């Protein structure tokens, strides 16, 4: 085999498989290395879909798609972009959760960059080992809080790999500009520490100064090696996620998707929910079940949104209640964490969700608890006593962690609830109507923001960008879609929605003087020219 042919066949970015034309085969020395038939992209997609269909379960489909990405990158992205409703749940939530749990057992070709404690003092050299020279989006995790599944150590690599695949499929950020990273500081997962196939450091998780020093070295290395890169912190535990964001948000171009992306998708849902109800954010009372970084991130952005609509900060905060594992976050709650302090309220400690609903009388119930089936019939019916059409958002994922299902929320409210969840649920029939549940997944937000940041080379990422993304996304849902239960654009339109949102966010970046490139005359045309196209 000619050297050039070998390099092409084993480079997933160049390989087209059976789609190489006869002329290309002759020119590149590929003649005879494929059967004679020249397939078009639709034929290849049909073959891949057929191979997927005979796999026994979604985990096997995940493995198949992962191997396809390693073999023919453009075909992989053609599948995702052409049918996101079918393939996104395999590539990302909910299947990625199981893939991370079994990562050490299903790992084929390693993906991503692994930065461990053993690399201290030479992290810059490790970052330089990444084969791409112009990285723009870095998604990094330490694997401590993977979805609702806990500490998965380096097996959490499936999260940044999956996130970045969606940066490309949904947002159009070129795959060569993306770098998935795991910071390996050990794991406290006892099962992994005794598993001979666990591929990471076999030691208890490092914390404190040792952890901070490694992250600092990594951030500085990225800044030097890839100075135009944006760092996305992903699936860090609350105790590290919030301090990391505070430490770096004003120093480097970075954000935390669990905090800011989750906040943006939730606020977008609230904007759309208010459209469906004909009212405003300030007309509601909000109860968050779960008071981690996701909840306080949503609450913070919600307060900013209400203030932007004319509320005072005090009036906005007065409409927001949080509930942690001890009960309502009030002054006598013994489990208050530092990030919850801005939302501590007056009142008595109420320990159960049902009692909290009866006390607070929320019109909006948001779940970020990872406690499945906690939005019970009694809880939802208690909201119905004073609110005919409650907004119910069980955002915890994967699906197994959802606080309730779409079928439950709608059957208990006679189809009246405004509903969205973090994971996908099927359509639901009630009273002769077909209701379609929206998926309040960050994938509507972070690829759009990422595309805007990539195109503008933004020097910072701000909360205002996420608020702009929320408002822009909410405006993309049509009145007809709202009438059948959707509060986000249909998943089939997610790529186009992301590009449109990116245009609005990019305009804001230019307006705020955060872009490191010259403002184009036509921002929309310019953004669209930056979008990666997986066609051959």
**92 annotated active-site:** yes
Nearest-angstrom CA–CA distance, 179 and 154: 15
Helix (H, G, I), strand (E, B), or coil: what is residue 235?
coil
CB 233 within 8 A of CB 144: no
Kindly give the residue spans of alpha helices, DSSP state H, lying in 172-319: 190-193, 208-225, 238-248, 262-277, 293-308, 313-317
**Total length of the chain:** 536
CA 279 to chain centroid? 28
Instruction: Write phi, then psi, for 35 (nearest 5 degrees).
Output: -60, 160
Output the six-digit token pair for 463.
């909360």
Q: Burial, 323: exposed, middle or buried (Cβ in 10 Å; 0-12, 13-18, 19+)? A: buried
The enclosing H or E element of 495 equals helix 494-511
Residue showing tokens 């409409």: 319
Q: Which of 163, 395, 446, 532 is catalytic?
A: 163
Q: Longest C-alpha distance within the chain, in Å?
A: 79
DSSP state of 258: I
* Angle between helical axes of 58-71 and 84-91 (0-180°, round to 10): 90
Nearest-angstrom CA–CA distance, 39 and 466: 42
Q: From start to end of 78-212, where are the E strands?
A: 113-116, 137-141, 178-184
Q: Which of 92, 114, 286, 532 is catalytic?
A: 92
CA 320 to chain centroid? 24
Nearest-angstrom CA–CA distance, 62 and 94: 11
Kindly give the residue spans of alpha helices, DSSP state H, lying in 10-146: 22-28, 41-53, 58-71, 73-82, 84-91, 95-101, 103-106, 123-128
Instruction: Write phi, then psi, for 26 (nearest 5 degrees).
Output: -65, -45
Q: How far is CA 522 from CA 112, 473, 525, in A?
A: 35, 20, 6
CA 425 to chain centroid? 17
- DSSP bridge pairs for 182: 114, 141
Pairing of strands 433-435, 428-430: antiparallel
Nearest-angstrom CA–CA distance, 141 and 245: 13
> Could you give the residue numbers annotated as active site?
92, 163
């Amino acid at each position: 085999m000619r050297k050039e042919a070998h390099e092409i066949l084993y480079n997933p970015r160049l390989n087209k498989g059976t789609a190489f034309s006869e002329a290309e085969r002759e020119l590149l020395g590929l003649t005879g290395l494929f059967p004679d038939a020249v397939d078009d992209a639709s034929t290849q997609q049909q073959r891949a879909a057929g191979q997927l269909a005979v796999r026994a379960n979604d985990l096997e489909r995940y493995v198949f798609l992962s191997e396809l990405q390693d073999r023919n990158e453009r075909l992989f992205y053609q599948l995702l972009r052409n049918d996101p409703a079918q393939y996104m749940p395999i590539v990302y939530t909910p299947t990625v959760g199981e893939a991370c749990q079994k990562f050490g057992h299903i790992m084929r070709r390693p993906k991503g960059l692994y930065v461990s404690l053993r690399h201290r003092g030479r992290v810059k050299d490790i970052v330089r080992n990444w084969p791409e020279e112009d990285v723009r989006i870095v998604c990094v995790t330490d694997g401590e809080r993977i979805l609702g599944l806990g500490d998965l150590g380096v097996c959490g690599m499936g999260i940044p790999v999956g996130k970045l695949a969606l940066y490309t499929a949904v947002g159009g950020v070129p795959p060569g500009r993306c770098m998935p990273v795991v910071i390996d500081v050990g794991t406290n997962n006892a099962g992994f520490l005794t598993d001979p196939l666990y591929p990471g450091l076999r030691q208890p998780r490092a914390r404190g100064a040792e952890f901070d020093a490694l992250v600092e070295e990594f951030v500085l290395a990225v800044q030097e090696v890839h100075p135009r890169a944006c760092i996305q912190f992903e699936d860090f535990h609350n105790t590290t996620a919030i301090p990391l964001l505070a430490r770096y948000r004003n120093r480097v171009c970075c954000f935390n998707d669990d905090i800011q992306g989750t906040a943006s998708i939730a606020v977008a849902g609230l904007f759309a929910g208010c459209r469906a109800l004909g009212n405003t954010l300030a007309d509601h009372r909000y109860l968050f079940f779960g008071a981690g970084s996701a909840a306080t991130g949503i609450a913070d952005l919600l307060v900013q949104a209400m203030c932007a609509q004319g509320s005072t900060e005090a009036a906005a905060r007065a409409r927001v209640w949080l509930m942690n594992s001890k009960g309502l976050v009030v002054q006598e709650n013994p489990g208050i964490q530092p990030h919850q302090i801005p939302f501590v309220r007056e009142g008595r400690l109420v320990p159960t969700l049902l009692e909290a609903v009866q006390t607070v009388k929320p019109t909006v119930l948001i779940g970020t608890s990872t406690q499945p089936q906690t939005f019970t019939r009694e809880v939802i019916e208690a909201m119905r006593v004073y609110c005919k059409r409650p907004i119910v958002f069980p955002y915890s994922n994967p699906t197994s962690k959802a606080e309730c299902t779409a079928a439950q929320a709608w059957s208990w409210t006679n189809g009246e609830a405004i509903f969205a969840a973090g994971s996908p649920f099927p359509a639901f029939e009630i009273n002769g109507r077909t209701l379609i549940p929206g998926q309040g997944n960050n994938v509507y937000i972070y690829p759009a923001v990422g595309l805007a940041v990539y195109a503008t080379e933004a020097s910072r990422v701000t909360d205002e960008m996420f608020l702009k993304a929320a408002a822009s996304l909410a405006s993309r849902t049509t009145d007809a879609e709202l009438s059948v239960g959707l509060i986000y654009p249909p998943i089939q339109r997610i790529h186009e929605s992301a590009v449109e949102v990116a245009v609005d966010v990019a305009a804001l970046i230019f307006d705020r003087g955060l872009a490191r490139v010259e403002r184009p005359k036509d921002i929309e045309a310019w953004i669209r020219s930056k979008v990666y196209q997986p066609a051959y």
